[in-house]
Amino acid sequence: MIAMLAESPEWEWDLLFCMFLIGIGLILAPFVGRWADARARLIAGWAKYERLSYHRRRHQIPERFAFRALSRGSHQHQYARNRVSGNYHGWMIEAFDYTYNASAFNQIVTRTSTRHLGAVIVQSPVPLAPLYIRPQGSFDGLGKMVGIEDIDFELAAFNQRFFVQASDKKWAFDVIHQDTMELLMDYGSDFSIEFNGYGAIIWRDQWMDPDEYRHALALLTGVLSRLPEYVIQRRVTPEFL
């Protein structure tokens, strides 16, 4: 066995790395547990203050929430926790911690890591066509070279900061007009947004505290409330229902 490890040093390093992670996990487990309890109390307090429902236990993501942010990893290893739901200043919302497993494979071993994001879903009073907004990434320039295109708007500063995709360009231009672009540029640099059906989701790739939830809700409801009246009227016609 030792000879085999000597011949395959990558196996040896993988084994040592796993043992190191297990040791660190055993040391940190009590502290993580206390931090999780304190965070749960903080979120529960925010929910109580806003007269929203709070559930700490783990639950599966309902299939009706068909957002790309909630389709990461295998279905068996996706779940939400610390769920806050109800009527938030006139909007029906559901906020939660989302956890999923991500796998990376090399020629010898598959490594699986647990990842998290914080998300808020807001119900829309009108049906929404697919739309995806996120901050520009370091590889988006390379993506354009291989045919992954986003939508460009008249404001160059907005194009430099945000990546936008939609099922229809006109829909994107209707939603992201000058006022909405300014809102996103002022407050949306850390968040991604997606429209789909009667719901919209805003998320970031880490858990959120109550202040960050408030910020995310203000941003997403701000985008929805800025939908032009002619767009709303067009979306509620029988053609779209």
Closest residue by Cα to residue 79 from 88, 70, 89: 70
- Predicted local confidence at residue 61, as pLDDT: 73
- Predicted local confidence at residue 13, as pLDDT: 52
- Predicted local confidence at residue 2, as pLDDT: 46
- Predicted local confidence at residue 133, as pLDDT: 95
Token digits of residue 150: 């986003």
- pTM comes to 0.79
Q: What is the pLDDT of residues 132-162, one digit of tens each?
A: 999 987 655 555 545 567 899 999 999 999 9
Q: pLDDT averaged over consecutive 10-residue blocks of the chain (241 residues)?
A: 49 56 55 75 96 90 77 73 95 93 62 83 92 81 60 92 92 96 92 93 93 96 95 71 46
Sketch the domain layout of the chain as residue ranges: 55-240
Distance in angstroms (rounded) separating the CA atoms of residues 62 and 59: 9
Q: Where are the beta strands (DSSP E) in the chain?
A: 53-55, 79-88, 91-105, 110-135, 162-166, 192-204
- Predicted local confidence at residue 1, as pLDDT: 46
- Predicted local confidence at residue 41, as pLDDT: 94
Q: Is the torsion defined by CA of 112, 116, 122, 128 positive or negative?
A: negative
